[in-house]
A and B are shown apart, each in its own frame.
Chain A
Amino acid sequence: MKLLQYTARYFGWFILLALPVTIGILFLTTRFIINQEQNELLEDNGIALTRQWNTNGLPADRVLLLANDLIEVKESALVPEKIFLDTTFWNADENEYEPARKYIFSTHIGQKDYLVSITHSVLDQEELLFTVLVSVALLIAVLLIGVWWFSRFAARRLWHPFYASLFEIAHFKFSDKSSLTLPETTVEEFSALNRAVNTMTKRIVDDYIALRDFTGNAAHELQNPLAIIQNKAELLLQNDQLDSKTLGEIADIHRSAIRLGRLNKALLFLHRIENGQFPVAEPIDLKKTMLEKMEQWQERMVAKNIAITTDLQSVVTNMNPELVDALIGNLLANAIKYNHPQNGWMHIGLSQEQLIFRNSGAPLSSPAATMFQRFKKGNPAQSNSPGLGLAIVKEICQFYGCSIIYTVDGEVHEVTLGNIQIH
């Protein structure tokens, strides 16, 4: 969940809690004030009635309706305190009960004690209270929602430079060579963050480029000495003055020089892909390249007696021919090399969406995803190959933005390339 959503959520909870509490307090205080008012009014009425009855004598009816107030007079010896009650009141005109305030008090009229109750309709006051509450609630709600919305809006504006920086960082690639330059913003914290990230990436990019160039230069500089070792060894192998033990040792030197040469060549190739030294792309039919490569590996497949099935569609993509050659060549070579020594199987599927190599082979000793790492071997005992084939494949895929997944299910290996159509 986003930071903004978190703030909004807390704010929402606060509103949900604050709104009823505020309205409750408002209700109680308003109600208290109204009741106080009513009580005073009723007390005044009571005093006025007592005074009138003392002068004019008690009315004939002991229950009478006077100016919408219901007045009851009872002879009573009891002298209660003044009592105020909430009650209801039957309005015959409206034909309904109405909320009312009842005032009970004792008084002394002409030598006798009376208990008098005055019931006064408070319908108007209740309506007023309701109207006040609703309008105040509306006001608070509008205010709170307004504040909430505004804070969201403000936060979004304020956080915008942060999200912009985040986007830049997420889309930053070391291989693009340029270092990251995040802009200055008006928010001090974000500016500080951007500056820190800028400095950090600049240092990393510089290190990365230096390391990459070092690999490339080292590999290139190694070619000549390697050629000398290899060729001198070849020359020595022709020398019939040497005994067979010496010749065997020279053959070992020769073999190692060849291995080193191959490793170096693969590293140089990787280096050139990373440096974008394969810019020229042309329309290439992957099916055609695949068939050529299969023809090239035909004898090896026959020698290992691999059962091969294919489902190839013609797929035209825009890539560099040398890279396509390396891509398909390496995948096919792997499917053959790491297959069972005899009687394995292989399936190649090529459609507009994806290219799949599925083959039998010994289970991997490390997770399939790590197979794309340089110098990583599926089964170290099995080969003396440098383990750069899949790294090259991965690098080519990255160069063209294709996806690549390697999965292993027991003895079934599958490499899937997606997004293979480049325009």
Chain B
Amino acid sequence: MKLLLIEDEHDLATAIQGYLVQEGYLIEHVTDYAQAMTKADLYEYACIIADITLPGKGTGLDILQHIKQSKPEAAFILISAKGALDDRLAGLNLGADDYLAKPFHLAELSARLKAVIRRRLFSGNTVLTYHEIQIFPDEKRVMVHETAVQLTRSEFDLLLYFVTNKGRVLTKEQLAELLTGDDADQADSHDFVYSHIKNMRKKLTAVGAIDYLVSVYGIGYKFGRTI
């Protein structure tokens, strides 16, 4: 699957590229408006990831506006250092599929990217399958061996995050941030994450799922066990 990344910060772009290439995407990277427009007009992309602030004339929002007219089938994710709600709303109003404020987690970008493409290509009616675990993201439902598993919202969010970032090391901070947003800096938020992971594990193994979660000592967790 081909992606276009429009980002003027070279180091950031290589980090994003490095992470997404491992996910199996083909990524083309440009650094300004003019290059982006040329590429976008010539080729087809599953998703375009654009920074709002770009050097020279033309912002990520201008690119978005143009793409929405010429290639409405491409998914579009905006990233911005501004993080203001206005930017976010402006982007979403212009037809962006998602918006991420810098700094963001690569795992978060990857999860959003997958969700956006899933929504685009399969109109959302998809099942994420990991061995015996089936996740229905839009219905917030989980099945294991045809048995429904009742997960709380946090447990479901964790499982979905783990499955979309399978094989990746996710830090405790990252997971705490997923569940509690900006308040993840609290000392008790790690206990909170831990207790949710424990409950999620318990519920999944109770219906016969294999425990795929590996804890990485001192760092966090990784989902996906090579058996």
Closest chain B residue to A280 by CB distance? B86
Minimum Cβ distance to chain A for residue B74 (Å): 24
Answer whether residue A385 sits at the interface, using C-beta atoms and an 8 A cutoff: yes
Count: A-B pairs, CB below 8 Å: 113
Closest residue to A230 on the B side, CB-wise?
B103
Using Cβ atoms and an 8 Å threshold, which residues of chain B touch A413? none
Within 8 Å of chain B (Cβ to Cβ): is A382? yes
Q: Please, which residue of chain A has its CB at the minimum distance from the CB of B152?
A: A299
B188 to chain A, nearest CB (A): 7
Which of A48-56, A155-163, A187-195, A232-240 makes up part of the contact surface? Answer: A232-240
CB-CB under 8 A from B15, the residues of chain A are: 228, 231-232, 234-235
Q: Which residues of A contact B146 (CB under 8 A)?
A: none
**Do the beta carbons of A300 and B192 come within 8 Å of each other?**
yes
Q: Would you list which residues of chain A between 238 and 267 have a CB under 8 Å from chain B? A: 238, 244, 247-248, 251, 254-255, 257-259, 261-262, 265-266
B residues less than 8 Å from A259 (CB atoms): 185
Does any Cβ of A come within 8 Å of B227's Cβ? no
Is B24 positioned at the interface, with any CB of A under 8 Å from its CB? no
State whether A227 and B22 are in contact (beta carbons under 8 Å apart), knowing that A254-B173, A300-B180 are contacts in the complex: no
The one of B103, B179, B180 that contacts A261, using a Cβ cutoff of 8 Å: B103
Whether A299 contacts B154 by the Cβ 8 Å rule is yes
Assess A265 versus B182: contact at CB under 8 Å? Given A238-B22, A255-B171: yes
Contact residues of B between 62 and 92, Cβ < 8 Å to A = 81-85
Q: Is A61 an interface residue (CB 8 A)?
A: no
Q: What is the distance, in angstroms, from B141's C-beta to the closest C-beta of chain A?
A: 19
User: In this assembly, does B139 line the interface, its C-beta being within 8 Å of a C-beta of chain A?
Assistant: no
29 A-B pairs (CB sep. < 8 Å): A220-B81, A223-B81, A223-B102, A224-B9, A226-B102, A226-B103, A228-B11, A230-B103, A230-B105, A231-B103, A231-B104, A232-B11, A232-B15, A234-B15, A234-B107, A238-B169, A248-B217, A258-B174, A258-B177, A265-B182, A268-B83, A277-B84, A299-B152, A299-B153, A303-B191, A303-B192, A341-B188, A384-B185, A386-B185
* Interchain residue pairs A-B with the least CB separation, the first 7: A227-B103, A223-B81, A231-B15, A227-B102, A251-B219, A228-B11, A261-B103
A220-B81, A224-B9, A384-B185 known; 6 other A-B pairs, CB under 8 Å?
A: A224-B102, A227-B104, A235-B18, A235-B106, A258-B177, A265-B83
